[in-house]
Amino acid sequence: MGFLDNSGDIILDAVLTDLGRKRLSEGNGKFRVAKFAFGDDEIDYGLYEKNNPSGSAYYDIAILQTPVFEAFTNNMSSMKSRLLSYTENDLLYLPVIKHYNEGDSKFASSQSPSLASYIVLVDETTVNALTTDNNSLDDGIMNGFRPDLGSQFLRCDQGLDTTELSNEDFINPVLLETQYFVQLDNRLGFFTAPLTGRKRTAAEGGSSFQPTSIDDDDVATYIFTDTDEANVVTRLAPGDASAIAGPRGTRISLKVASSLELKTSTYLFGQLGSPGTADIVSGTKTLAAADYQFIDSVLRISGVSTGYTLDIPIRFVKKTT
């Protein structure tokens, strides 16, 4: 990633995505640019200076001359927030997606040092090192070996995060997110449905999802909607407990499972991982720092309609000694 000098002109730098280049390389004459997105994550609009002594032509000069990101094709490193167009001219607030850091969806903040991330235990040996019944784990620690056991899961809420509007109000339908892209490194893990009600038996196992696509960087993309029977995306009722302060939209809930590669091998931990730096504690049991390796990654949640993106840190942990 680099910056382009924008000191003299307004620059729009555009490139094809990895998928776009693949389609172009097929050379069958059918390639057409059907979808595109704009972003301005690097721009600080606080630089707008309406009292500039040189006059109105200079109010936005600092913004126009800000160096812009060089366009790049890696979909996990590209635009965090996309530019949108709304026909309504009375929108005072735009929706966001926030992690719900409460109850069974809390981060592993009770660890020392505190972690603003989830810990995913990748195999049975690692799970057994931290629990006596294979499903009772502390906040923020997921059973990646058997996601259907235990109660920890990821939960994020969408809506208008402002106290200027009551959380008893209904969100404007234009701002309601009903569909999400969720991305994760396919070498490391995949997603399963959150469990509500009783736990599944060992024979039933968990309900996992198949990715819609996997790119050349091994990033898997999943699509979830509020009409799926999986109950991953649900509507938040006015007044529901939520990370959103104002009118609520939808909630997305998922569990993270470890990949077969992480369960059965230490290869990726040797290539991408690091040795433990602090003990992991769950209940009365401890996994010493010297006894495990971990891989830090992120999962990305993006609203299909609004383009708002949230990255959630994930730490995959494997007991090695």
Provide mean pLDDT across the span 16-24.
78
Query: Minimum mean pLDDT among 205-209, 223-227, 229-233, 255-259: which range?
Result: 205-209
Under the banding of pLDDT at 50, 70 and 90, the label for residue 74 is: low
| H helix or E strand, kind and range, residue 296 | strand 292-303
The yes-or-no verdict on residue 291 having pLDDT over 50 is: yes
Rounded Cα gap, residues 181 and 25, in angstroms: 26
Q: Is the pLDDT confidence value at 198 over 50?
A: no
Instruction: Flag whether pLDDT at 186 surpasses 60.
Output: yes
pLDDT, tens digit (0-9, with 9 covering 90-100), for 120-142 = 999 999 999 998 765 689 999 99
Is the pTM for the entire model greater than 0.85?
A: no
Mean pLDDT of the chain: 86
Using 50, 70 and 90 to split pLDDT, how confident is the model at 298?
very high
User: Binning pLDDT at 50, 70 and 90, where does residue 204 land?
Assistant: very low
